[in-house]
Structure 1
Amino acid sequence: MPVETRTVPFRDLETWVQVTTPETPVDGALPLVVVHGGPGMAHDYLRNLAALADETGRTVIHYDQVGCGRSSHRPDAPVDFWTPELFVDEFRNLVAALGLERYHLLGQSWGGMLGAEIAVTRPEGLASLAICNSPASMRLWVEGANALRAQLPEDVQAALDRHEADGTIDDPEYLAATQAFYERHVCRLVPVPQDFVDSEAQMEAEPTVYHTMNGVNEFFMTGTLRDWTVIDRLPQVTAPTLVVAGEFDEATPATWAPFVEGIPGAASHVFPGASHCSHLEQPEAFRAVVGVFLREHDRDGVEADPDVAVPSPS
């Protein structure tokens, strides 16, 4: 598939973009913009979604949000620089720069949260929204993480509690305990796919955005997003919406249920046996579900492939 990379000016920064074009475009198939998580994890771990270009005949656009990956970094920016509004503005700027009149948006983890922030503003060009492995509220996220954490072996829980209380979160014992959580609820594949390793490595090399907005790790929330919620604004979303998660996802059902309950007509699907990185753990099944959803909401009434069955929403 033809792949083009470029940068798009944004304020005094630059957003790095990758555009994957299908070998055989399908008439009426709208472009898909893929929004990565973190915040600050870069697009690498979502690379395999580029396969949707040939599988559905549409252009697939990945980008690195400012502050990470191949886009501009600002390690010395003040804390209040890093806000959801910054990334909403960056997305709007990207859509305008690429000349996208109509498009689908797929956001994973923080990307789904950002997708909801974008969708509540009812942008004219948004044809559909896929929220993947994302919470509607960080209070619900922390409650869910605590419930999952309570299921870890007692010695692992004790190590987490002890080092968080002592402030020794860089201790090897603490890092090993967090890994035990990640192996259950973030990515269950062994070894972890290289795409995920690449995103994680760049975040660890320059963790400004992740540490500022999220905090120490996936369940020890100390960042500026700790009080974030979109629940009260969800009825404002008018775009067709699909919500997906994994059976063992750190985004527990209680965290994403408000999307289904609050967005008119929203559908949901859970991937059995998968966790937070459902798209890496079950790539073909993930792309099949998403692909059918995209076809159903393409402009000009592009028909869904009758040979691809959509599992019943759950």
Structure 2
Amino acid sequence: MAWWRPAPRRSPPDSAAPAAAPLTSYFPAPDTAQVLTGGVQVVPITTPKGKFNVWTKRFGHNPRIRLLLLNGGPGATHEYFECMESFLPREGIEFIYYGQLGCGNSDNPKDTSMWSLPRYVEEVEQVRQALKLDKDNFYLLGHSWGSILAAEYALKYQQHLKGLIISNMMMSIPAYNKYAAEVLAPQMKPEVLREIRQLEARKDFQNPRYMELLEPNFYAEHLCRVPLPEPAARSLGKTNQSLYVTMQGPSEFGASGKLVNWDRTADLPKLAVPVLSIGGKYDTMAPEHMRMVARQVQHGSALICPNGSHMSFYDDQPTYMRGLTKWILAVDRGETKVAL
């Protein structure tokens, strides 16, 4: 789940999907009887520590397909998903940006006790209710940490889902840590890895040398293999470090925070909703694990981006966007497993 602290846009993918809905349907005439906000809806949520507001913004309108986006980090913002605007509208797919509590435009209680996976699950459920999403239209896409949250939500509330997308996240932190230590780390030059390990042993994570080593030797290989696009740089530059360190831990080689023992691999067969598992050949997450996720759920499809890393929607954009839209439109037609 590591993050980089901007690749020219490629041509849009071909699509065999049905023609998109007319623009008058996707962008309906505004209701002049109310004050318009460009799709922004601030959702009040109730937590054990009181009431807060989280920010959402709807893009487009399709009563059958409403895709809620859960950003990663933990603690980044919705902004790195802005690439979706170049692909999903042409397919008539409505999508919704959402700032989790502590992220982006949403309230930040600055209370580490609020950074809790079960509490975030209940937050997503409150957002779902406020946005009137249901089993006939609700698709949930989580990326990285957002996939942990999406999986936890689905395991408790899948009756409200039409489809689930697990993007670039293994379903076991112990397995992720093992992959990072045994597969990713040895790919680095020994002298580089040795210096990184020395800095981590001293807990010297704020040392500028730590990032100097990680950016060309790790991030450029496994996080994003093209120059970081502006929306991603803008998003990751706003990461809530309190949330990130509390949940993920300070190291970029595996997790050591509250998520250190999280493992839902054994529970994957409980998921009956259609699931799309997305990975990248060069991802921080093991591609074979992402294929396994698709096999273990009841109705799974796998999409492995051959040129992609952790942010495959940027560095293997044609593969990622073509597969994502094809899968969503197929599930909308009633299919449960889709060949990608």
1:58 aligns with 2:88: no
279, 287, 293: which one aligns with 1:245: 279
Partner of 1:33: 68
1:198 aligns with 2:231: no
1:256 aligns with 2:293: no
Partner of 1:131: 166
| Contact 1:236 1:263 survives alignment (8 Å) | yes
| Contact 2:70 2:147 survives alignment (8 Å) | yes
1:157 aligns with 2:196: no
User: Once the 2 structures are TM-superposed, how far is the Cα of residue 268 of structure 1 from its aligned partner?
Assistant: 0.6
What is the one-letter code of the residue matched to 2:176?
W
214, 219, 238: which one aligns with 1:182: 219
What is the one-letter code of the residue matched to 1:267?
S
CA deviation vs aligned residue, 1:121-154 (integer Å, no higher than 9, x gap): 2432311111110110000111111120111011
286, 302, 311: which one aligns with 1:277: 311
Structure-1 separation of matches of 2:128 and 2:157: 14
Structure-2 separation of matches of 1:194 and 1:246: 21
Structure-1 separation of matches of 2:174 and 2:122: 25
| Contact 1:134 1:255 survives alignment (8 Å) | no
Within a 5 Å distance, the mapping from 1:4-153 to structure 2 comes to 4-11=39-46, 12-21=51-60, 29-75=64-110, 77-79=111-113, 81-101=114-134, 102-146=137-181, 147-153=183-189
| Contact 2:55 2:99 survives alignment (8 Å) | yes
Q: What SS does the aligned partner of 1:202 have?
A: coil
| Contact 1:130 1:242 survives alignment (8 Å) | yes
Structure-1 separation of matches of 2:221 and 2:88: 31
Could you list the runs of 4 or more consecutive aligned residues of structure 1 that deviate by over 2 angstroms after TM superposition? Answer: 50-53, 122-125, 253-258, 282-285
| Contact 2:60 2:95 survives alignment (8 Å) | yes
Q: Which runs of 5+ in 2 are unaligned?
A: 1-25, 28-37
CA 1:282–1:273 in structure 2 vs 1: closer, same or farther (change >3 Å)? closer
Q: What SS does the aligned partner of 1:120 have?
A: helix
| Contact 1:115 1:129 survives alignment (8 Å) | yes
| Contact 2:88 2:325 survives alignment (8 Å) | no
Q: Which moved more, 1:129-138 or 1:109-118?
A: 109-118
Partner of 2:258: 224
Q: What SS does the aligned partner of 2:39 have?
A: strand
1:267 aligns with 2:304: no
Partner of 2:30: none
What is the one-letter code of the residue matched to 1:152?
M
What is the one-letter code of the residue matched to 1:98?
L
Structure-2 separation of matches of 1:127 and 1:9: 24
User: Once the 2 structures are TM-superposed, how far is the Cα of residue 186 of structure 1 from its aligned partner?
Assistant: 0.4
CA deviation vs aligned residue, 1:151-200 (integer Å, no higher than 9, x gap): 1011210111111112222222222122121110001112x111111111
What is the one-letter code of the residue matched to 2:307?
G
1:168 aligns with 2:207: no
Q: Which runs of 5+ in 1 are unaligned?
A: 304-309
What is the one-letter code of the residue matched to 1:100?
L
Structure-1 separation of matches of 2:285 and 2:79: 20
Give the percent of matched residue pairs that are identical in Structure 1 and Structure 2.
Answer: 26
